[in-house]
Amino acid sequence: MSASTVIKHVEALKVFDSRGNPTIEVGIKTDKGFASAAAPSGASRGKWEVEQYPPGGIDQAINLVETLIKPRLVGLRADEQETVDELLHELDGTSNFGKIGGNTACAVSLATALAAASSKAIHLFEQLSRTTSKELPLPLGNVLGGGRHARTGKTDIQEFLVLPVGATTFLRAAEANAKVHSKIARLLQAKGNPATGKGDEGAWIADLTTDHAFETVSKACEEVSADTGVSLRIGADIAASTLWNEEQKAYVYDKDAKRLNEGEQIDHMRSLIDRYDLIYLEDPFNEESFESFSELTRTVHDTLICGDDLFVTSQARLKKGKTMNAGNAIIIKPNQVGTITDASKTAKLAAQFGYVPVTSHRSGDTPGPELAHMAIAFGSPIIKTGVVGGERVAKINELCRLEYYSYKSQPLKLAKLPIYTK
């Protein structure tokens, strides 16, 4: 049985992500299986993420798979994920995948897990799961946005998000998010301020102030909730590092025409939480502002304060955050840290610390469904993966499938959120 997962062959090639940018894909063959995986890529990347590629870019990364990684990988077992991921660290030899690139590591790591699953004819989440209790995550959907994910005529805040907290099945949850997305286009049109396009994650782009954007999302949620019976709550990813101006020591809001110092930003975030009853707030402060995360977390009750650029899926940064109670949720993006094992360990540590691990896509994503399996395996009660666009729907549809087919055998139920839902 185990011999069937022995790695026989490894290849790397160039393919494209959802933005049309080149990315690395790795194919791995065992005796009994074959799988390939590509790495996603961010536009508002955290300063402390691992390097994406070696200094020579993707071509050098492909070359390194052939000359450095493949000779050591062939002969190992694909179902020994930790051994493979440790080998990637050893071959790299730096603390930030500066030699081989985090995207190279991520593609090799994920292709390994997929090849193991393929060899054993099991699902990826079964291959990756450390526990037996598995639940389907609730989808956190990006419905309106701006920031680095759009070009001009846009909101200052990167993402306005919705969470269908009242859904009883994943299908109903995904349906509610999709209805909010389409309702927003109609509301904007009716207001005479139509969406001008969609951003990198499929969210509508419109020339709106922060308040107008929240009011529109709020109205859409109310109407969809009334139509479907599924209650929805609002969230946002401020991606505040992209608003932060180091010289001015201020958060600069172009569309809202204001500049806020750190203290004013804390007050502003508190007032947005109160005014729009936010259940989720990601990166409300610059990626170095552990103290502000801590202060906000101390004074809110039913809101997830989530660190993305703050934690970059790093155990060390999460440990630092925990000592100060900075935030109560963490984004898990495997390519921020490089391997499946690293991402999985950070998610596990988060759960031990009482932080909610939110498994997340990147703005430049790949068309595969694997993130859906990672969210289940990492024990994430929430998956952040957009609402529309093929690469986003691939993950949503996979969760619909897992829910549908599991009803016939061992039911996969929707996770319960560890916070109050009004």
Contacts with ligand PGA by CB under 6 A lie at 42-45, 237, 239, 308, 360, 362-363
| 297 interface partner picked from ligand PGA, Zn ion, none, CB below 5 to 8 A per type | none
> Of 134, 179, 333, 395, which residue is the catalytic one?
333
Site string for Zn ion, 221-240 (x = CB under 5 A): ----------------x---
Angle 330-335-339 (CA atoms, 0-180°, nearest 5)? 95
**Residue 308 contacts Zn ion per CB under 5 A:** yes
CB of 188 to Zn ion, least distance (A): 23
How many angstroms separate the CA atoms of 177 and 224, rounded?
9
CB of 422 to ligand PGA, least distance (A): 25
* Identity of the residue, 85 or 237, whose beta carbon is nearer to Zn ion in the bound complex: 237
- Judged by CB, which is closer to Zn ion: 5, or 335? 335
| Inter-residue contact 287 to 314 (CB < 8 Å) | no
CA 41 – CA 19 distance, rounded (Å): 9
Between 330 and 412, CB nearer to Zn ion: 330
Active site residue 201: yes
Q: E strands, 290-404, where? A: 304-307, 329-332, 356-360, 382-384
Query: Which partner from the list ligand PGA, Zn ion, none does 363 bind, CB cut-off 5 to 8 Å by kind?
Result: ligand PGA
Q: Where are the beta strands (DSSP E) in 31-151?
A: 34-38, 135-136, 138-145
CA 19 to chain centre: 16
Torsion-angle region of residue 192: left (phi > 0), alpha (psi -120 to 50) or beta? left
Amino acid (one-letter) located at 338: G
Residue 342 binds which of ligand PGA, Zn ion, none (CB < 5-8 A, kind-dependent)? none
Instruction: Please tell me whether residue 370 binds Zn ion under the rule CB under 5 A.
Output: no
Restricting to residues 282-301, name those near Zn ion by CB under 5 A: 282
Catalytic residue flag (residue 215): no
B/e letters for 71-110, b = 16+ CB within 10 Å, e = fewer, are eebeeebbbbbeebbebbbebbeeeebebbbbbbbbbbbb
Asked if 306 contacts 327 with a C-beta cutoff of 8 angstroms, the reply is yes
Could you tell which of ligand PGA, Zn ion, none binds residue 43, using a CB distance below 5 to 8 A set by kind? ligand PGA
CB of 229 to ligand PGA, least distance (A): 30
The nearest distance, CB 237 to Zn ion, in angstroms, is 4
Please work out, in degrees rounded to the nearest 5, the angle formed at the alpha carbon of residue 271 by the alpha carbons of 267 and 277: 145
Beta carbon of residue 316, minimum distance to ligand PGA (angstroms, whole number)? 20
Choice between 344 and 363, CB closer to ligand PGA: 363
- Judged by beta carbon distances under 5 to 8 A according to partner kind, the member of ligand PGA, Zn ion, none in contact with residue 156 is none
- Residue 295, binding choice from ligand PGA, Zn ion, none, Cβ under 5 to 8 Å by partner class: none
Q: Which is nearer to Zn ion, 124 or 306 (CB)?
A: 306
42 binds, among ligand PGA, Zn ion, none (CB under 5 to 8 A by kind): ligand PGA
Tell me 51's DSSP state. P
Residue span 167-206 as binding mask against Zn ion, x where in contact by CB under 5 A, dash where not: ----------------------------------------
The β-bridge relationship of strands 22-30 and 7-16 is: antiparallel
Residue 44 or 104: which CB sits closer to ligand PGA? 44
Angle in degrees, CA 251, 254, 259, rounded to 5:
35
β pairing state of 250-253 and 258-260: antiparallel
End-to-end CA, the chain: 49
Q: Which residues pair with 383 in a beta bridge?
A: 139, 359
CA 322 to chain centre: 21
- Total of residues contacting Zn ion (CB under 5 A): 3
> Which is closer to ligand PGA, CB of 199 or CB of 369?
199
- In the complex, the smallest distance separating the C-beta of residue 158 from ligand PGA, rounded to whole angstroms, is 6
Task: Give the binding range for Zn ion (CB under 5 A) out of 122-130, 258-266, 305-313, 317-325.
Answer: 305-313
- Residue whose Cβ sits closest to ligand PGA: 42
CB 200 to ligand PGA: min, Å:
7
The tokens describing 264, both together, are 């004013």
- Give the nearer residue to Zn ion in terms of CB position, either 125 or 251: 251
Which entry of 25, 201, 391, 398 is annotated as an active-site residue?
Answer: 201
Half-sphere exposure of 111 (CA within 13 A, CB side): 28
The residue ranges that bind Zn ion (CB under 5 A) are 237, 282, 308
Residues labelled as active-site residues: 201, 333
